[in-house]
């Protein structure tokens, strides 16, 4: 049974993450929001600290490079935009022992850093979704070869949207190499990463079963950077578009089984998402917490306070709104911890991960916009970070699977239907 009290062993990690958010990220948050596409050099020191913690074992496995996943023969996961998922944890085989492992520690620490800045959290080197994919499905030789490198993930294409199974980028075997051709968009950390994990199909006629992931080196002449996106929010994080033009990749850089398997062949490329969706939910929780705390402080200065022992109807409209938003936050928080706990304990959590992502993403958007309104002119201006957080919030309801995709996953799980039966 899940215990919602924070494990003692994670409390120092949480305190460190909270300090980083308040003392490290918030002071430079506005700087890199305005200087879009400029790499935050301050993150190099943080990255070195994370590397040191991971090497010493003190980091509790935090870091996308530690992500692995137990076998789960559930329905193929649906499409999603990619996100650099910092701190994706390890899913353990089911045992009688209750574990609070790297999934839980990562969720708790990411929640804290995103109280400071989501874009900066996404920009920490060597913590991308590509790293999580490599750790989840690569063989030991590949893991050793890619160790210490920053990997982005290239899934989304102009014509596929949320349907990852409709990928059109092709991979054709040519001797000891594969030749990749196609387009990729919305690649988080695409410019900064050293590697890009590219999804491509070996045979379009076979649909999602023929989709494989390939590790492409960023300096590969066939991987051409088309543009960097100018975005509404998370501007500290770079988002790239690529064109693959006869991009030749050694066969040894295909992740997982090179054979096409008609039954369950899509699972290898998708193995990270039951772990990473709770992490995106944690990002949304962190931003939500920042909005609520800041707005509560601003309203208190105007003599508007919440009495937690009185019903909402007996308080001011502003206090009643804060009560409602806090309840939504707590619900999303519980769902997220549950999904992470299930991952740590080897329990299939696809539905719970989608529930957490859907609830946290929607709550984040609603709370951020409501806090701007409650704070009035102060919320709309740049003296506070509320207006920035409102802009940052929307992506957390979109990437790693849109709100609609998450609800579709939940419906399929509840009804026991496959992706072909319920679209």
**Cβ atoms of residues 150 and 126 within 8 Å:** yes
Distance of CA 11 to the CA centre of its chain: 22
Q: H or E segment at 186?
A: strand 177-188
Q: H or E segment at 178?
A: strand 177-188
Question: For residue 76, what is the DSSP state?
Answer: P
Question: For residue 385, what is the DSSP state?
Answer: S
Q: How far apart (Å, rounded) are the C-alpha atoms in residues 164 and 255?
A: 17
**Cβ atoms of residues 234 and 396 within 8 Å:** no
Give φ, ψ of 243 to 5 degrees.
-120, 125
Alpha helices of 35-164 — where are they, by DSSP H? 43-56, 102-113, 118-122, 129-137, 140-146
Q: How far apart (Å, rounded) are the C-alpha atoms in residues 83 and 328?
A: 24
Q: How far apart (Å, rounded) are the C-alpha atoms in residues 332 and 327?
A: 9
22 is catalytic: no
In 3-state terms, what secondary structure has residue 225?
strand
Q: How far apart (Å, rounded) are the C-alpha atoms in residues 386 and 364?
A: 12
Q: How far apart (Å, rounded) are the C-alpha atoms in residues 222 and 247?
A: 4
Q: How far apart (Å, rounded) are the C-alpha atoms in residues 194 and 178?
A: 19
Give one word for 63, left, alpha or beta, with left for phi > 0 and alpha for psi -120 to 50.
left
Q: How far apart (Å, rounded) are the C-alpha atoms in residues 202 and 213?
A: 10
Tokens (6 digits) for 365: 């958007």
Tokens (6 digits) for 264: 């369950």
Place of tokens 């349907």: 163
Residues in the chain, how many? 423
Q: How far apart (Å, rounded) are the C-alpha atoms in residues 131 and 124?
A: 12
* Residue 152: strand pairing partners: 196
Catalytic residue among 78, 82, 387, 400: 400
Tally Cβ neighbours within 10 Å of residue 231: 18
**Rg of the chain, C-alpha, whole Å:** 21
List residues with catalytic annotation.
Answer: 400
């Amino acid at each position: 049974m899940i215990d919602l009290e924070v494990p003692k062993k994670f409390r120092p990690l949480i305190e460190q993450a909270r300090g980083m958010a308040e003392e490290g990220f918030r002071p430079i948050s506005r700087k890199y929001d305005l200087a879009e596409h400029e790499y935050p050099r301050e993150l190099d020191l943080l990255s070195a600290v994370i590397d040191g913690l991971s090497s010493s074992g003190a980091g509790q496995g935090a870091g996308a490079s530690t992500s692995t996943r137990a076998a789960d023969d559930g329905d193929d996961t649906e499409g999603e935009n990619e996100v650099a998922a910092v701190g994706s944890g390890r899913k353990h085989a089911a045992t009688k022992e209750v574990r609070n492992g790297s999934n839980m520690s990562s969720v708790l620490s990411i929640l804290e850093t995103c109280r400071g800045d989501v874009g900066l959290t996404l920009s920490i080197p060597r913590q991308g979704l590509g790293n999580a994919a490599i750790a989840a499905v690569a063989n030991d030789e590949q893991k050793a070869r890619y160790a210490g490198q920053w990997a982005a993930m290239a899934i989304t294409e102009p014509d596929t949207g949320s349907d990852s199974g409709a990928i059109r980028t092709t991979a054709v075997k040519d001797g000891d190499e594969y030749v990749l051709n196609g387009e990729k968009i919305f690649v988080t950390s695409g410019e900064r990463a050293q590697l890009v994990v590219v999804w491509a199909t070996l045979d379009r006629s076979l649909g999602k079963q023929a989709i494989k992931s390939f590790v492409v080196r960023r300096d590969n002449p066939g991987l051409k950077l088309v543009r960097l996106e100018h975005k509404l929010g998370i501007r500290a994080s770079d988002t790239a578009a690529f064109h693959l033009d006869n991009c030749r990749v050694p066969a040894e850089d295909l992740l997982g089984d090179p054979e096409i398997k008609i039954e369950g062949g899509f699972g290898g490329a998708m193995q990270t998402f039951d772990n990473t969706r709770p992490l995106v939910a944690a990002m949304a929780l962190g931003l939500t917490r920042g909005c609520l705390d800041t707005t509560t402080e601003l309203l208190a200065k105007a003599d508007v306070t919440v009495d937690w022992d009185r019903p909402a109807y007996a308080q001011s409209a502003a206090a009643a709104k804060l009560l409602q938003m806090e309840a939504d936050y707590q619900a999303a928080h519980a769902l997220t911890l549950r999904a992470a706990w299930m991952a740590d304990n080897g329990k299939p959590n696809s539905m719970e991960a989608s529930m957490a992502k859907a609830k946290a993403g929607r709550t984040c958007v609603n709370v951020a916009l409501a806090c701007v309104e409650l704070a009035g002119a102060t919320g709309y201006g740049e003296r506070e970070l509320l207006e920035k957080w409102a802009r940052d919030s929307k992506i957390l309801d979109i990437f790693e699977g849109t709100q609609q995709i998450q609800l579709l996953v939940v419906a399929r799980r509840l009804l026991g239907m496959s992706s072909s039966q319920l679209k």
